[in-house]
Chain A
């Protein structure tokens, strides 16, 4: 008798363990769970828009704004890198309507035939895109994409430790900051830093140049505390790292927590990027997708987005509505003086294999 109760207990325990084992996958936690009250006849299922975006780009209030306005539900899923986005779409993840790839990934997705034509008549706000983000080489007529949020990649640093602003990428190879450096967990950007430091373009396609950058990065690895694209603003703010290669907006977030954090775009230059709104060819709800894109690009919504996410909006009228402390922050809006040394990342074609291999080697070491 006693034996049986024991095995029943063990079984129960193992069962609950198994449940927790399979429940340990990361899940999109920011997805709206509330069903909005507005719109929709009773009995008719409410249309759902599926939005696949960067993990930093989710803001509940903004999404709920659209849900109320359009009387729909928005289901949000997130990704952490352009490569992850492409891999998930290629592996057959379907059902997404609006996706937010970066510039170079837009051209890859166009090449792969993944994108639907935008209906610009339904997106009047696309006409408000700032001058510098118009006619971008990868999609000059906004046939497939409209820039949404944009910014730069530079270095965030703790000015309590480093008094003089570092002006070169070389500081990320400075032995004095061993174990106090974080790099993005992003293949092209990490190579971009090494290539820039060596005076090369971030879009190098030559195997020998990429191999040199790889050697430089292998040499750097012992100084690097972590490769992360997600929580380095906390690492900066908490003092875990002194220097972080990062997206401007994330560094701006660290500044909120610790005002001593500063941001520079080194003299060798940095990346300028624009994350774009696109509609997938397989989108189940294209009409609603256009409506959603127009909503995100709206002047007021765009200004709120910049204020909350600390990434600059592409809407040229929005900047004036953003509070001065954010508008004047070089991590959010790069100063005019920096524009000359900013470079767009482009698709490197077949050379992507060299990058893939070198990145794997770097991560395996």
Chain B
């Protein structure tokens, strides 16, 4: 009984600030747009049918590709870092984790502007590389998909490192030692011992990076020069530029549906695989 009451504040909060707005967006997604924006209450499925227009599918595809690339890069960069931190003396682990987190004390927008200064034609990176004689003329990185990728990886790397660290920290070194002692080759130690045992961390990290980077909009806007649109930008564009809220709402729901379907499919596959293993 008491437990039920303890739940009440959170339920109220979620109901008012999460479920209600979401329901509103859902209802609007079936309405249509007035000439100057605003919502006209005529029921139609047109918005959902429009989403499958090749023009918009292209944006979904581009966002998926960029989000996947971001996730993979974060994993490749983050795993060795997390492993290193987790194997340090406990005293030093805190220091390193702090270093990973320090950038978060500054506003994300400010940090993105800093990247703009670094990546521009006469910016820090180009000046440095030219000064060292590595390149003859400045490379145009800013306002390209590459700049967006760099920005996304930078922004979401900590979301990968922290869950990985937590998982690796829990992996007893003796297990790895045992694998070595039993003459497992290096690849087998990694693929058949370390990876399976840190899998929850890998999955958590990948989800924490993939989902927000799929919906990112500040990074593609500022580092992509508003040329490389992602789904997040498309939604923002529909809401704030062309003022077509019904269509913007429909895209939001399709995006949400896709992410949810992906995660559920994964969880289900994982669940049945585990069941199989248990039965075996």
Q: Which of A9, A224, A349 has its CB near the most chain B CB atoms (within 10 A)?
A: A9
* Contact B55–A83 (Cβ < 8 Å): no
Distance (Å) between the CB of A236 and the closest chain B CB? Answer: 12
Check: A71 CB closer than 8 A to any chain B CB: no
Interface centre among B37, B58, B108, B140 (most CB of A within 10 A): B37
Q: Mark B131-147, 1 if CB is under 8 A from A, else 0.
A: 00000000010110000
B241 touches A187 (CB 8 A): yes
User: For the complex, is A30 an interface residue (Cβ under 8 Å from B)?
Assistant: no
A84 near B166 (CB under 8 angstroms)? Answer: no
Q: How far is the CA of A260 from the CA of B98 in the complex (A)?
A: 46
Q: For B271, what are the chain A residues with a Cβ–Cβ distance below 8 Å?
A: none
Q: Which residues of B contact A111 (CB under 8 A)?
A: 36
Task: Let me know if B94 is at the binding interface, CB within 8 A.
Answer: yes
**Which of A23, A87, A238, A240 sits near B241, CB closer than 8 Å?**
A87
Nearest CB in chain B: distance from A111 CB, A: 7
User: Within A76-130, which residues are at the interface with B (CB < 8 Å)?
Assistant: 81, 83-84, 86-88, 90-91, 108, 111-112
Q: Does B109 contact A (CB under 8 A)?
A: yes
A281 is an interface residue with CB less than 8 A from chain B: no
User: Which secondary structure dominates where chain A touches chain B?
Assistant: helix
Task: Give every chain A residue within 8 A of B165 (Cβ-Cβ).
Answer: 10
- A352 CB-CB contact with B under 8 Å: yes
Interface 9-residue window, one of A32-40, A168-176, A225-233: A225-233
B218 partner residues in chain A, CB cutoff 8 A = 24, 26
Option from B94, B122, B163, B245 in Cβ contact (under 8 Å) with A238: B122
- When C-beta atoms are compared, the residue in chain B nearest to A239 turns out to be B122
Whether the pair B59, A240 counts as a contact (CB closer than 8 A) is no
B120 touches A240 (CB 8 A): yes
Q: Which of B136-164 contact A (CB under 8 A)?
A: 140, 142-143, 158-159, 162-163
Contact A81 to B122, CB < 8 A, known contacts A9-B94, A20-B104:
no
Q: In residues 96-146 of chain B, which contact A (Cβ within 8 Å)?
A: 97, 101, 104-105, 107-109, 120-122, 140, 142-143
> Which one, B2-10, B67-75, B232-240, is touching chain A?
B232-240
Shortest beta-carbon distance, B70 to chain A, in Å?
A: 15
Interface pair B107/A227, CB less than 8 Å apart: no
Q: Pick the residue among B59, B121, B142 that contacts A364 (CB under 8 A).
A: B59
Tell me which residues across on chain A come within 8 A of B45, comparing CB atoms: none
A241 CB to closest chain B CB (Å) equals 9
Q: Which chain A residue lies CB-closest to B39? A: A90
| Known contacts A225-B225, A240-B121: A17-B239 contact under CB 8 Å | no
- Please give the number of chain B residues whose Cβ is less than 8 angstroms from any Cβ of chain A in the complex: 47
Cα–Cα distance between A224 and B212 once the two chains are bound (Å): 28
**Bound state CA distance, A14 and B120, in angstroms?**
33
Q: Which secondary structure dominates where chain B touches chain A?
A: helix
CB-CB under 8 A from B158, the residues of chain A are 17
Query: Are A20's CB and B239's CB within 8 A?
Result: no
Chain B positions within 8 Å of A364 at CB level? 55-56, 58-59, 229, 234
- Contact call A87/B109, Cβ cutoff below 8 A: no
A30 CA to B237 CA, complexed, in Å: 24
Interface residue? B227 (CB, 8 A):
yes
Within residues 297 to 356 of chain A, which ones have a CB less than 8 A from any CB in chain B?
Answer: 349-350, 352-353, 356
| CB interface residues, A 60-86, toward B, < 8 Å | 81, 83-84, 86
Which residue of chain B has the shortest Cβ distance to A24 in the bound complex? B108
Shortest CB-to-CB span from B25 to chain A, Å, is 12
A86 to B240 alpha-carbon distance, docked (Å): 8
Taking CB atoms, residues of chain A closer than 8 Å to B240 are 83-84, 87-88
B209-265 contacts to A (CB < 8 Å)? 212, 218, 225-227, 229, 233-234, 237-245
Residue B273 is within 8 A (CB to CB) of chain A in the complex: no
User: Bound state CA distance, A44 and B151, in angstroms?
Assistant: 48
Q: Which residue of B lies closest to A14 (CB)?
A: B162
For residue A360, CB closer than 8 A to chain B, the reply is yes
Tell me, yes or no, whether A185 is within 8 Å of chain B by CB. yes
Q: Is the CB of B38 within 8 A of A90?
A: yes
Query: Which of the residues A6, A227, A239, A352 comes within 8 Å of B227, measured between beta carbons?
Result: A227
Which residues of A are at the interface with B, using a C-beta cutoff of 8 A?
A: 3, 6-7, 9-10, 13-14, 16-17, 20-21, 23-24, 26-27, 81, 83-84, 86-88, 90-91, 108, 111-112, 179, 185, 187, 221, 224-228, 238-240, 349-350, 352-353, 356-357, 359-361, 363-364
Binding site for A on B (CB under 8 A): 35-38, 55-56, 58-59, 94, 97, 101, 104-105, 107-109, 120-122, 140, 142-143, 158-159, 162-163, 165-166, 169-170, 212, 218, 225-227, 229, 233-234, 237-245
Q: Would you give 20 A-B contacts (Cβ < 8 Å), ordered by A?
A: A7-B166, A13-B162, A20-B105, A21-B212, A26-B109, A87-B241, A90-B243, A111-B36, A226-B143, A227-B225, A227-B226, A238-B120, A239-B122, A240-B121, A349-B35, A356-B241, A360-B237, A363-B229, A363-B233, A364-B229
Apart from A226-B227, A360-B237, list 19 A-B contacts with CB within 8 A.
A17-B159, A20-B108, A87-B37, A87-B239, A91-B239, A108-B36, A111-B36, A226-B226, A227-B226, A238-B121, A238-B122, A240-B122, A240-B142, A352-B35, A361-B55, A363-B229, A363-B233, A364-B56, A364-B58
